[in-house]
Amino acid sequence: MNAGRQRLDKWLWFARFARTRSMAARLVTEGHVRVNGTRADVAAKAVHIGDVLTVAAPHGTMVIRVRDLGERRGAAPEAQRLYEALGEATDP
């Protein structure tokens, strides 16, 4: 991918919304992730800094804004710097 964007499944894995990258890809393909209000249907969808994601992960549904693109899967504090929590989502 070009600079300034990253695959959605990879970003979700770096930000620790899924334990493995394949689980992150499954979250996307099963329709549990929205990017700027639109359902993402392919794991290779590009995300950019400033995009708003709604993630319905097994541990809860969150609305977040992408603050940075990851370079690796690090510790939880490092992962939390990749996004800003905007709140918990209500039922769709």
Over residues 57-66, the pLDDT tens digits come to 777 899 999 9
DSSP label at residue 14 = H
pTM here is: 0.88
**Dihedral angle of Cα 61, 65, 69, 72, to the nearest 10 degrees:** -30
Beta bridge partners of 83: 66
The CATH number of residue 55's host domain is 3.10.290.10
Does 90 score more than 90 pLDDT?
Answer: no
SS3 state of residue 61: strand
Give the confidence band of 89 by pLDDT, cuts at 50, 70, 90.
Answer: low
Q: For residue 21, give its domain range.
A: 5-88
3-class secondary-structure state, position 45: coil
How many structural domains does the chain have?
Answer: 1
Q: Cα(75)–Cα(67) distance, rounded to whole angstroms?
A: 17
Contact of 79 with 24, CB cutoff 8 Å: no
